A = this chain, B = another copy of it.
Amino acid sequence: MNHGFTIWFTGLSGAGKTTISRLVEADLRGRGLPVEVLDGDIVRQNLSQGLGFTKADRDTNILRIAFVSKLLTRNRVVTLVSAISPYRETREMARKEIGHFVEVYVKCPLDTCIARDTKGLYRKALEGAIPYFTGISDPYEEPLEPEIVLHTDQEAPQESAARIFSRLKELGYLL
């Protein structure tokens, strides 16, 4: 292939996006492929400092990630984006911009995410200390036709990663 592809992990905070993307990253590197990870939090530091979490700011952040993913993808890099990216229309814009796009919906019931509360953010959000918190005080629009849906409340991260690899083969992105 004279291009790479982007695996776009979307889902609630705590659903498992970063954990699974790290597993996928390690496996892809093991295959000798060029890989970059654009993690929502890290990208905010490097590309979007000053932006907040209103719809307009979230959209701007996502479109910046999409711009960088496009540049990497067309230069043969497998790009893993891990970002809540709650708005369907904005994800569709990213898909269109990037072209070779695999949307992975990292699905997990809100109650499970709250129970996990990996970063302690849900407690704060439920106390009202964090405004615009996805799932609590801000919307999450589920993908309608993602390439893959993971059920991270029912499957281990390794299983989720394995399912992604099967799907990538089906889609012709991997041998």
Closest to A35 in B: B75
Q: Which chain B positions have C-beta within 8 A of A71?
A: 36, 68, 71-72
Q: In the assembled complex, how far is the CB of residue A49 from the closest CB belonging to chain B, in whole angstroms?
A: 7
Measured CA separation A63–B71 after assembly (Å): 17
Other-chain residue from B34, B46, B49, B60 in contact with A75 (beta carbon distance below 8 A): B34
Chain A residues with a Cβ closer than 8 Å to the other chain, count: 16
Measured CA separation A44–B46 after assembly (Å): 14
Instruction: Give the most central of A36, A49, A60, A71: most B CB within 10 Å.
Output: A71
Q: Binary interface profile of A, 13-50, with partner B (CB < 8 Å = 1, else 0)?
A: 00000000000000000000010100000000011011
Residues in chain A within 8 A of chain B (CB atoms): 34, 36, 46-47, 49-50, 60, 63-64, 67-68, 71-72, 75-77
